[in-house]
Amino acid sequence: MTALFQTLETPDGAFTIVADDRQRVLASGWTADVEAVRDRIHPMLRPAQVREGQADAADAVVAFYAGDVAAIDAVEVSQTGTELQRIGWAALRAIAPGRPLTYSEFAAALGRPSAVRAAASICARNAPALFVPCHRVLRSDGSMGGFAWGEPVKRALLARELTAS
């Protein structure tokens, strides 16, 4: 499978999108390193090659950074994983901008309140960052916790969403 990639400049730095031939986002992140983004895609979906092109999702990124934080909600993504991961990724998309959850609250929202580590793992294995907003999950003490693209980006995204909501 061949996929396309597009890199945009954002206030948080370069943002690269890798999308399949149906324009579903397979992975994305704050880097100009296409291979770093491609490598986050599950091996079953990972394209052998990527070529530069126009990703439909780029319009949603531009709108998000212009203040329409809900623009990312309509972007179609494609991920594969365990049943709990798929449920978790869908649940991440349901977290309202400006209203982050703690990992404990996220685990409870999944119906597994004692599965805090599994909830954190769902966030860590999320490939289409921004479109599946794993940045909206925080540690129970309110600190940022992990984020593949760095704490400064996570902090900036949360601040942007809080201001827009």
Question: What is the total residue count of the chain?
Answer: 165
Q: Is 75 left (phi over 0), alpha (psi -120 to 50) or beta?
A: beta
The Cα–Cα gap between 79 and 13 comes to 24
Active site members: 134
Q: Tokens for 157, please give them.
A: 């995204």
Show Cβ contacts of residue 66 under 8 Å, excluding neighbours closer than 6 positions: none
CA distance 38 to 64: 22
